[in-house]
Amino acid sequence: MSDSMTSVSSRRHDLDALRGIAMLLGIFLHAAIAYSPDAGRGWPIQDSQSSEVTSLFIALVHGFRMPLFFLLSGFFTMMLFRRRGVSKLIENRILRIAIPFVIGMCTIIPAMWIVAGDIQANPSSIVTAFDETDLLTPVVQDDLAGVENALLAGADVNQRSEQGDSPFLVAAFLGRDDIAKVLLNHNADPELGNHKGERPIDVMRASWGTTEFVAGMLQIEVDREDVESGRQKIATMMGVTLSEQVAGGDMTAANWSGLMFLLFEFPVTGHLWFLWFLCFLVTGFAIVMSITPQTWRSRWDVSSVVRSPRCLLWLIPLTMLPHWFMRHEGFGPATSVGLLPMPSVLAYYALFFGFGAIYFDADDREGDLGRGWQMSLPLSLTILLAVGWMLQSQTEGGGLVASVFLQSAYAWIVSFGMMGMFRTLFAHPSRTLRYLSDSSYWLYLAHLPLVMYLQYWVRDWEVPLLVKFTVVSVISSVVLLLSYQVFVRHTPIGWLLNGKRKPSVPSADDASDTYVIAAQLVRQ
């Protein structure tokens, strides 16, 4: 009994700091997107400079950051439950997660859309890194000459987007019949579907409302008569017939597809999607623990299941299942920013959340799970990442199995390694780390509008890419830290995010911490 109470009452300074660092890494990840030739597609601004090294950095961080965050969220959720019970857990999560999510959806997300709209409304703000073999962009932009030039440069006529859309599928959806004809003449596969199983013939049956909505997201203008006429011509090229009813978009299947898009894929939640996921996961946790609050733990030896790295033998295969159904091209898990979470993505993160909850009950005081991090972490961040990076575009057969295996293994091994490293280096309380951990929530919630404006500000600088990335990262971090200290920490906003605390005596102590941290960032 005393051991249990000690476990419940003891503070894990290392994991608390690690959770904050995982949150802050998101700022640097988003700051890098503008300089990546791959991840930059769809971002409000693409710098004229890009590098595959940036894409590799994004993959390195994205491959483990959110899985680790959800693992730690599960750990601290169980800690709060064991300490205060299910009712207080729900109350706490409503205050710390649900309410900030609702407020953020009404303030931060609209601000992000406004910033993105202002940037994209200025034609000079879109500085696209030139890729002569990119077919998808000229298809979307209805640039026939661009398509022909890309094909002459050796572009793969069946190249895929991150969602698995081929150039021909995009042309069919938008009714680009002249482009579709050129693609077919270069042996485009008219049956090649995307990761959702939609073929070109299927997307041509999309309702006009869905078509117009997607075109708006792509920020292109479409004419209904031109699109429907183009779809009819493309269908004739393919040897199939589209009825007027289908072209007009009145079919039940098409409307259903449009509804699914609006529910699961329209980017409503933006970068706040993780809070929405936590609402679902904490609700599920509370239901399970209310039904069997005491007995579930005694049915197996929790320590033997989760305290040893041997748990990877069952965790990796189990994680591969939802990862497989994501059908996500790119290294790391897919992101679900819709009104409803994608089931495969929610299941993926539920595994990490659930493991974290069980891990708390294992009472791993010695940090057995993260032992050997000095070897496992460097090997994962180099060899495992490199091989997984090379296989990330595999979409079928053994290549896909290997890719999903490596990405699942990377997420777990790096997460355990980070836990081991922080257990070794940061097990004792640190004012600086505690301050960063407390501030990280606000910094991540508020960072995107500022980061995008800074990327826009430096886009024309004739300086190395690394300098631009550093300027964006450092200035955004310093400004957000100062805003946290002045406007958040000891205000109702701070009380909502981190709980009410008494100001330090004197309060200048906190301010000095802020200025020291800011100065360290500037010197870097």
Q: Supply the pLDDT for residue 155.
A: 83
pLDDT of amino acid 248: 43
pLDDT digits (tens, 9 = 90+) for 302-344: 667 788 888 999 999 999 999 998 877 688 998 888 889 999 9
Q: How many CA atoms lie within 13 A of 147 on its CB side?
A: 28
DSSP code for 48? S
Are the CB atoms for 420 and 372 separated by under 8 Å?
A: yes
Contact 282, 93 (CB under 8 A): yes
- According to the model, what pLDDT value does residue 249 have? 43
Q: What are 417's two structure tokens?
A: 């390694």
> How many Å is the Cα radius of gyration of the chain?
25
In terms of Cα–Cα distance, which of 211, 213, 214, 216 is closest to 247? 211
Q: Which helix (H) or strand (E) holds 75?
A: helix 65-93
Provide φ and ψ at 315, rounded to 5°. -70, -45
| CA–CA separation, 102 and 98 (whole Å) | 6
Name the residue type at position 100. P
> Would you tell me how many other CB atoms lie within 10 Å of the CB of residue 459?
19
Burial of 250 (0-12, 13-18, 19+ CB in 10 A): middle
Looking at the chain, the domain(s) classified CATH 1.25.40.20 span 129-264
> 402 Cβ partners below 8 Å, 6+ apart?
391, 394
Over residues 497-521, the pLDDT tens digits come to 988 765 544 444 444 444 444 444 4
User: Can you give the three-state secondary structure of 97-154, one letter per residue?
Assistant: HHHHHHHHHHCHHHHHHHHHHHHHHCHHHCCCCCCCCCCHHHHHCCCHHHHHHHHHCC
Q: Please state which CATH number belongs to domain 129-264.
A: 1.25.40.20
Listed as own residue / partner, the contacts of 287-295 with beta carbons closer than 8 Å and 24 or more positions apart are 289/81, 289/86, 290/86, 293/86
pLDDT of residue 41: 56
Q: How many CB atoms are closer than 10 A to CB 172?
A: 29
Q: What are the residue ranges in the chain where pLDDT is below 70?
A: 1-11, 38-42, 120-132, 162-163, 195-197, 216-219, 243-259, 261, 293-303, 329, 501-524
